[in-house]
Amino acid sequence: MAIKLTDICNKEEKLASGHRGCIGCAETIIVRQVMAAIDGPVVVASPTGCLEIITTPFPTTAWRVPWIHNAFENSSSTLAGAETAYRSLVKQGKIEDKGLKFVVFGGDGATYDIGLQFISGVIERGHRLLYVCLNNEAYMNTGIQRSSATPLGAWTTTTPVGKAVPGKIQPRKNLIAIVAAHNIPYAAQAAPHAWRDLMTKVQKAIAIDGPSVIDVLSPCARGWRHSTNETIAISRLSAETGAWPLYEVDHGKWKLNYNPVPRKPVIEWLKAQGRFSHLLQPGNEHIVEEFQQQIDKQWAELESMSQ
């Protein structure tokens, strides 16, 4: 069923305005898109991170749905427990089944790094919940430290730029390939500029009787060093350069959802962000070339796997 803007605009927001997100924050844009795509009652969990900090400064909350906060590592397990309890109570006839949905929103630090083994367990056990990674490619809430989602060459406070080390020296981890190896029913990459693509993926994921994961790129003006009014433009550029492919893995079938022809060179995406400004200096051309080669290789693999 096609998603219409009029339908979205007429829905009550599940995340209220008045939160403390930074100007231009992509996380709240993504959360609103995800929640607008889900009909019916929802329970949300979040680990410690930007989203938790900006939406629930005690004693206030911006959430209009039941919301659970737990540690960096175990929010997926916490919500899996709630989902299991709900199914048990319905089975026992103690409560009516109202089609309750369960969604985790976690940053890349809580997803790619600290909480990965817990997410793996949730997937393996087959819990019916959607895990959404708000991927701003670093530990932004604690001071812009690198995570395994941080791309090659990026400046962070723990990958400083100097003569010896020009930013992060490793490429980012491929989270979707990792979760797809679990034979998960549904996994996808998305970005906020492509709102209809993201919301369609959410509807597919939430309808599945099992676990699903969507990794959503979340540009961060503070950590990426871009202007606050460029969030969506940089998101779009990530897809146009292939730095962040939009694709899905639906019951083992890989599919590219957007194929930019021709793909723009990745340097266009790098030039738009201050965290990569050092790569434009003489002597660092080889890093840009390596970045482009990694994208070309990943893109060729995605094209070969897509059906």
DSSP 102-124: EEEEEEHIIIIIITHHHHHHHHH
What one-letter code names the amino acid at 295? I
Using alpha carbons, select from 190, 215, 239, 29 the residue that is nearest to residue 107.
Answer: 215
pLDDT at 7: 73
Do the domain assignments include residue 274?
yes
CA-derived radius of gyration, the chain: 19
CATH code, domain with 246: 3.40.50.970
Q: What is the biggest distance separating any 2 CA atoms in the chain, rounded to whole angstroms?
A: 69
pLDDT at 1: 57
CB 131 within 8 A of CB 211: yes
Beta strands in the chain (DSSP E): 42-47, 67-70, 101-107, 130-135, 186-190, 212-217, 247-250, 253-256
pLDDT at 225 over 60: yes
CB 202 within 8 A of CB 130: yes
Least confidently predicted of 1-15, 82-96, 177-191, 207-221:
1-15
Encoding tokens for residue 34?
Answer: 């995800």
Band of the pLDDT at 11, cuts 50, 70, 90? Answer: confident
- H helices of 116-254, where? 116-125, 175-180, 195-206, 221-224, 231-240
The pLDDT tens digits for 71-110 are 999 999 999 999 999 999 999 999 999 999 999 999 999 9
DSSP at 91: H
Do the domain assignments include residue 3?
no
DSSP at 35: H
pLDDT at 307 over 80: no
Band of the pLDDT at 46, cuts 50, 70, 90? Answer: very high
Integer Cα distance of 50 and 27 in angstroms: 8
Do the domain assignments include residue 1?
no
Do the domain assignments include residue 4?
no
Do the domain assignments include residue 255?
yes
In this prediction the pTM is 0.96
pLDDT at 67: 97
The pLDDT tens digits for 174-205 are 999 999 999 999 999 999 999 999 999 999 99
Do the domain assignments include residue 283?
yes
**Number of folded domains that form the chain:** 1
Name the residue range of residue 32's domain.
12-305
pLDDT at 214: 98
pLDDT at 145: 98
Do the domain assignments include residue 231?
yes
User: What is the arithmetic mean of pLDDT over 246-271?
Assistant: 97
To the nearest whole number, what is the mean pLDDT of the chain? 96
Do the domain assignments include residue 285?
yes
Q: Estimate the crossing angle of helix 26-36 against helix 231-240, to 10 degrees.
A: 80
